[in-house]
Chain A
Amino acid sequence: MKRQHGRALQRPGVAHRSPKAGKKAEGIVQFAVRCVSEPQDGSMDDDSFREQMIAFLPRLSAFALSLTGNADQRDDLVQETCSRALARRDQWQPGTRLDSWMFRIAQNLWLDRKRAERSRGEPIDIDMVVDLTDSDGRTITENRLALGEVLRGLDQLSPEHRVLIGLVCVDGMTYKEAAEILEVPLGTVMSRLARARLALHDAIHRTLAPKETRRGRPFR
């Protein structure tokens, strides 16, 4: 059996997304993907560049949350990434994907920050998980609980595994796209991603086990 499959270039799981779960979000994603795709002539004026950045913000925000695990640091990372992308506008090569470039910036900023935190020995407060606002109080409460469990699970992973989960499982990048962003071979991405996902599954269920007993309800 080959380890790399031609269809692995597809976006995993996108076809299986529940319309009910994210019809609005799906529209935003499609819009963002369309906008971030390279223009036909490979050029882009400054306004178009900015609008493409803006269209990409929801995806960048989700990716940043998967990395940082809390709302404040998510917002900081998103803003820092945008600031750096604007400042280095001339470093982006027209004809290449803006979303991949900005994911790479976000990833590097976050990894640098993690290294600095490790050297300082500062703990990350993973209990400050989310600050979502929504008109549907019930839905938001359930989402928050589930998101909290996932973020706690993510916090058990190595930074490298966390980045992969953010790119593929949260953003929906293909294995190949993730490999291009991380600048590693496709096979490496697949083996790392498989380990990361099994580790995440274990981590979520490890942290969930005592809460199931306490709350008397399973993880959704």
Chain B
Amino acid sequence: MADLSDEVLMAYADGLLSPAERVSIEASIREQPHYQRKVEQFRATLKPIRQTFDAELDGSRLAALAAKIRQAPASSPRGRAGLGIVHARSQASLVASYASWPTAVAASLALFIGGGLGWLMHRPAEREHTALADLMTFADGSLRAEGALAELLETAGSGGALSVRDVHGRAWQLKAISSFRSTADRPCRQYELSDDVAARFAGYACRDMHAQWLIQAHARLDRRANTKDQFSPAGDGDGGPLDAAIRAHMKGDVLQSSQERRLIESHWSDAGQK
């Protein structure tokens, strides 16, 4: 008697086998109670599950969203369409509003207008936009790290990096540069993002009391910076606006690796304490 794999039993339960295939295995199923049980379990996880979700297929609840989709601005090569929704009901999930992105960045960087780096005071170029919107959201007046960037800030030691690939297959490297405490005694981290072509960004974020990393400044490095192998960390640079902002915001020195490691291991639990 042939052994039947779970995949075959599933296909049988789903009615996807040919008549000949069905006949060839039905004797085994009849004679083996454990095969029968599995077939029943597979059947219980298809039709009943779908029927349970049928209420979701009533589109009337989605009329408001449909109207927004119809009214959203048309997309263009540089200006991307979006629903313009910042949805704050669920803290864990906010809609990234592409149209409002430059405004968000401008608000965050108001201090730095006229800086020497290529600050994102304009609508970012399309290719830059793609990955940044995956990594940050603007909500409740703050620009917040999300996804892989939040993971990097939360868990990686300075010098540590994460590689991510966006939906278009472009590889991005996210790197933790340094850690320090802010004048408000919050833990802060400087980071750098770079793609596999030429785009490079740097910024710093501070962890708030709700374990969110709020971005204080974010900048695109200009061509001059792009030619360097490394972006200069805080306190070691040439006095650029980002370095100046970090120095103004920093209390004490950059944290030593042992201090940083203890904070990461404790999930930044002594944040806000001396």
A residues sitting closer than 8 Å to B (CB atoms) are: 1, 3, 5-8, 10, 12-13, 15-18, 21-22, 24-25, 28-29, 46, 50, 53-54, 57-59, 61-62, 65-66, 68, 72-73, 75-80, 82-84, 86-91, 104-105, 108, 112-113, 115-117, 119-122, 124, 132-134, 140, 143, 146-147, 150, 165, 168-170, 172, 175, 187, 190-191, 193-195, 197-198, 200-201, 220
Contact = CB atoms under 8 A, between A and B. Distances in A.
8 contacts: A8-B11, A17-B50, A54-B70, A65-B53, A79-B83, A108-B167, A113-B147, A143-B52
A113 B2 CA distance: 44
Interface size class of B (residues with CB under 8 A): 35 or more
A143 to B, nearest CB: 6
Interface stretch (B15-23, B109-117, B192-200, B237-245): B15-23
A1 B24 contact: yes
B5 A1 contact: yes
Interface of B: 2, 4-11, 14-18, 21, 24-25, 38, 41-42, 44-59, 61-62, 65-66, 68-70, 72, 74-75, 77, 80-83, 85, 87, 89-90, 92-98, 129-130, 133-134, 146-148, 150-151, 154-155, 167-168, 211-212, 267
Contacts, number: 238
Given A22-B51, A119-B151, A194-B7, 16 more contacts: A3-B8, A54-B62, A57-B59, A62-B57, A76-B89, A79-B87, A83-B98, A124-B92, A147-B52, A150-B52, A150-B53, A170-B50, A194-B10, A195-B6, A201-B41, A201-B45
Contact of A8 (B16, B44, B54, B211): B16
A7 B50 contact: no
Nearest to A15: B15
A125 to B, nearest CB: 10
* Most chain A CB inside 10 Å of its own CB: which residue of B53, B55, B62: B53
B45 A66 contact: no
* Most chain A CB inside 10 Å of its own CB: which residue of B17, B25, B46, B61: B46
Contacts of B151: 115-116, 119
A15 B47 CA distance: 10
A5 B52 contact: no
Contacts of A194: 5-7, 9-10, 42
Given A57-B62, A200-B45, A119 B6 contact: no
Contact of A201 (B44, B61, B90): B44
A22 B55 CA distance: 8
Nearest to A189: B7
Nearest to A53: B69
Nearest to B49: A169
B156 to A, nearest CB: 10
